[in-house]
Structure 1
Amino acid sequence: MLKLGKEQSSLFLMTYVLNAMNNWAFKFIAPLALYAETQSLQMMTISYGLLFTPNIIAPPIINLIDGRIRKKAGLIGLNMMGGLLCVSGFFFFRHGFNITKFFIIIFSLSMILTLFQTLIHSAMKEIVSEKIAIENMSRRLAFFDSLFPALGPLVGAVLLNAFNYSAVFLVIAGVYGLSMMNLCIIRINEDASEVKGSFVERTTRGFVLIKRSPFINFLLKRFFLSNIALHGFQSVLTFYLIDRFHLSDLSVGLFFAASALGLMIGSRLGRLIYTYEINKWYVIAGTGLVCALCLIITPLTNNIVVPCLAWCVVMLLSAINLIVFYTERQVNFRQSETASVIAASYVIIYSAIPLGSAVSFFLSRHFNAGETLLILGVYLLLIGFYFLYLSLKKQKVLIKETLPGS
């Protein structure tokens, strides 16, 4: 029985990894393909916003379908739709480029990828049930969710160097096929009777549960405000690297892939938070400040090594943040609440991403790429100091509550 459980966990993790790789390789390829056709920074920022706008819309849809269809069937169905959409993309762009069709394809595929990510997170407790196993799996998923923003650009760059972007759609469709094979084998212990309430009630419940949890509430507020700066920064960074340092697509991919070293270190440091019970409020506040300094230093140097090291640190901090976020989200809520909480948390976090793209779009119309990066870094520094203040204030309240006679 233990061996079967390990096999199921391995299949679950492999399926998650395949879809995460598809997700981030595609999100690197799409803006570069658009830049190759238009030579426009503004068009790149628009495509970046379109890639992440579905992250606001898709999670609540999970509340609509949760309990109405089996999760295994839903996951397989999403993979099938993604594969068919990629095949369609191959035929659409085989003989020419159409910007309207391109925007429709990237928006639709991003919607499918986000729906899949939300649904597979909500299914985790039905495959991995023990608390320790949930914490371990949460750390692994956090690691891969940090790893693929780094490796995805390298995979995407290699694919773009080997194929034209229309043929890349077929490669992504092939990966979907492997994912569906895994999903057919995975056993999900589903209990549809656990899901109660209407779509509106379950969607609202997720936000209410988050508001009632002091640390999760603090965490998501910080992530929302920080993501405006961080993803606005990232939507300009690729253009900045090409324009300032004259990097090729493959060199840009290697730049982001180098940050995998930071992810591996961050993954190990994240474990120490729970091993030694380090104060998570200070961790989340501190990572925001350090991340801001990394963003500020990037446009202030003429040496490509400095931005590369700074991005390594950003990815290290991202790994730590995701480990805390995924672990706390899984262990603080019942299984019947998990889908609602996950959907609500994704809406909160990811709604900042198109906002960040919009901010970077307007900034890039009045400032050059380096100045835009610097402005976003300074904003993130101010946000970091604000949340450090909130964490210190909260600790004083907690200490006062534990004193005798309180």
Structure 2
Amino acid sequence: MFKLKSSQSLYFLISYILNSMNNWVFKFIAPLVLYSETKSLQMMTISYGLLFTPNIIAPPVANLLENRLAKKASLLILNLIGLFLCLFSYTYFEINFNNLVFFMVVFLLSSILILYQTIIHSTLKEILPHKEDMEEMSRKIAFVDSLFPAIGPIIGATILSYLGYSNVFIIIGVIYVVSMFILTKINIGLRVKTTGEHFILKTIKGFKLIKDNLFVNYLLRRFFFSNIALHGFQSILTYFLIERFNLTDIQLGLFFAISTVGLIIGIRIGRIIYKNNVNKWRLISITGIICALCLICIPIANNIYIASIAWSVVMLLSAINLIVFYTERQTHYHQDEVVSVISASYMIIYSAIPFGSAVSYILSRYMQSNDAMITLGTYLLIVSIYFLYEALRSTKIKDEIDVS
């Protein structure tokens, strides 16, 4: 029995690792492919939006699949579609490169990768029903989620430098074959889920719950408007680094890998914050202001080391914000309300990504990359100052109510 449980844990973890690796390697490579083929900043901003927009549609699509197909069947079908898509891409792009076809591939492959991750998360309790085993696996998943944003760019840069981008699709395709083999070994039930509240109803309920909670409402409005700037900035950043500092693919991979150190430190700091009586309203506002100043600093400073430190600080502050948000989201609602709030909050946060890409696309048509980045940083600074004012006003009103 112990051996069976151990093997199931191992198969699940390997499957999760393979998908995460594909996900982060592809997200790093796609904009670089467009740069090498078009040298166009506008094309890179579009690809960034297409890479992350599937995060918006993944929850409702996963819910739809869950009500029509067994989870194991869904995962196998997604892998099979991904494999055929990779074979098509390798064959097509070896002969010719077309922007529209590449955008289609980026969107479809990104959708498959995020859908797989969404569905396999939901199988964890079924594979490991015991609380201790599930908690241990959750810690391993958290480690994988923090590892691949760091090593994904390095792996992607290495593949791109030595094999060329068309061969990336062959490598991802081979990983899909391995993943399908591993999935056949995992004991996931073949029963189709037929009960449960519909995703749309859950999301509508979540919006109402968020609206009624003063602090969570504040957090999500703050994150939505700031994420427009952050994702818009990030869609330009790769182009800027190549043009300004003439970075190679490997050097670019190292830049983003180093910034992940800030993410790890931020997670640790975020945990410490909750052991002390820190004013969360002011914390969230101040992190936004510091983040905006770092964004403005990157295009102004003509130094790759300063840019690397500034971007690492942005990652650190983003991690602190996420720790605050995830904790507050869990503590402000009853257990039966959390799922609805999560559904609605994901829709709000991820919908900022296409907005950010659209804004950066428009800016890049009329400005140089560094001017567009300064504009986005300035916008974030204004937004953060406004939310600091709102935080001070809200906490003052709250204190007056508590006194009365």
CA distance in 2, matches of 1:161, 1:380: 35
Could you tell me the percent identity over the aligned residues? 55
1:400 Cα deviation after fit: 4.5
CA distance in 2, matches of 1:118, 1:256: 24
RMSD of Structure 2 on Structure 1 (CA)? 3.4
Q: Which residue of 1 aligns with 2:83?
A: 83
CA distance in 2, matches of 1:213, 1:34: 43
CA distance in 1, matches of 2:359, 2:253: 25
Identify unmatched segments of 5+ residues in structure 2.
Answer: none
CA distance in 2, matches of 1:115, 1:124: 15
CA distance in 2, matches of 1:391, 1:135: 35
Q: Which residue of 2 aligns with 1:100?
A: 100
CA distance in 2, matches of 1:2, 1:401: 56
Alignment CA distance shift 1:262-1:129 (3 Å): farther
Aligned residue runs from structure 1 range 81-160, under 5 A: 81-123=81-123, 144-145=144-145, 147-160=147-160
| Contact kept? 2:68, 2:193, Cα under 8 Å | no
Identify unmatched segments of 5+ residues in structure 1.
Answer: none
Please say which of residues 18-27 and 61-70 is displaced more in the overlay: 61-70
1:211 Cα deviation after fit: 3.1
TM-score normalised over the length of structure 1: 0.85
Q: Which amino acid aligns with 1:42?
A: Q
Q: Which residue of 2 aligns with 1:238?
A: 238
Establish whether residue 162 from structure 1 lines up as the match of residue 162 from structure 2.
yes
CA distance in 1, matches of 2:170, 2:281: 44
Alignment CA distance shift 1:207-1:132 (3 Å): farther
| Contact kept? 2:82, 2:176, Cα under 8 Å | yes
| Contact kept? 2:70, 2:193, Cα under 8 Å | no
1:228 Cα deviation after fit: 0.7
| Contact kept? 2:128, 2:134, Cα under 8 Å | yes
1:105 Cα deviation after fit: 0.8
| Contact kept? 2:30, 2:47, Cα under 8 Å | yes
CA offsets per residue over residues 273-304 of structure 1, 9 Å max, x none? Answer: 34446444444333222211110110111111
CA distance in 1, matches of 2:350, 2:18: 21
Please say which of residues 204-213 and 311-320 is displaced more in the overlay: 204-213
Q: Which residue of 2 aligns with 1:361?
A: 361
CA offsets per residue over residues 20-73 of structure 1, 9 Å max, x none? Answer: 322221112111111111111111112222222222333222333344433344
CA distance in 2, matches of 1:15, 1:400: 53
CA distance in 1, matches of 2:323, 2:142: 5
CA offsets per residue over residues 355-391 of structure 1, 9 Å max, x none? Answer: 1111111111221111111111111112222222333
Q: Which amino acid aligns with 1:268?
A: R
CA distance in 2, matches of 1:277, 1:62: 39
CA distance in 2, matches of 1:129, 1:392: 45
CA distance in 1, matches of 2:120, 2:330: 13
TM-score normalised over the length of structure 2: 0.85
Alignment CA distance shift 1:9-1:201 (3 Å): same
CA distance in 2, matches of 1:95, 1:127: 44
Q: SS state of the match for residue 91, structure 1?
A: helix
1:146 Cα deviation after fit: 5.2
CA offsets per residue over residues 97-147 of structure 1, 9 Å max, x none? Answer: 122221111111111122233334445565677999888877765665455
CA distance in 2, matches of 1:264, 1:201: 35
Number of equivalenced pairs = 404
Please say which of residues 27-36 and 69-78 is displaced more in the overlay: 69-78
Please say which of residues 177-186 and 22-31 is displaced more in the overlay: 177-186
| Contact kept? 1:122, 1:339, Cα under 8 Å | no
Establish whether residue 54 from structure 1 lines up as the match of residue 54 from structure 2.
yes
Q: Which amino acid aligns with 1:85?
A: L
Alignment CA distance shift 1:210-1:99 (3 Å): same
Aligned residue runs from structure 1 range 179-190, under 5 A: 179-186=179-186
Alignment CA distance shift 1:82-1:215 (3 Å): farther
Alignment CA distance shift 1:199-1:132 (3 Å): same
